[in-house]
Copies of this chain bind each other. A is one copy, B any other.
Amino acid sequence: MEKLTLVKVGGKIVEEPQSLKQLLSDFSKIEGYKVLVHGGGRSATAMGSKLGIDSKMVNGRRVTDEEMLKVVTMVYGGLVNKQIVAGLQAVDVNALGLTGADMNYMRSEKRPVKEVDYGFVGDVKEVNAGLLADLIAKGVVPVLAPLTHDKEGNLLNTNADTIAGEAAKALAKHFDVTLVYCFEKKGVLMDENDDESVIPELTPALYNKYVADGIISGGMIPKLDNSFEALYAGVKEVVITRADLIHTEGGTKIVL
Contact = CB atoms under 8 A, between A and B. Distances in A.
A174 to B, nearest CB: 16
A140 B82 CA distance: 20
A241 interface: no
A114 interface: no
B102 A96 contact: yes
B155 A90 contact: no
Given A89-B149, A153-B90, A82 B101 contact: yes
A202 interface: no
A252 interface: no
A178 interface: no
B73 A85 contact: no
A151 B101 contact: no
A131 B89 CA distance: 15
A76 interface: yes
B99 A85 contact: yes
A162 interface: no
Contacts of A78: 73-79, 81-82
Interface in A65-106: 70, 73-79, 81-83, 85-87, 89-90, 94-99, 101-104
A179 to B, nearest CB: 23
Contacts of A151: 89-90
A117 B81 CA distance: 27
B73 A99 contact: no
B86 A95 contact: no
Given A90-B152, A104-B94, A147 B70 contact: no
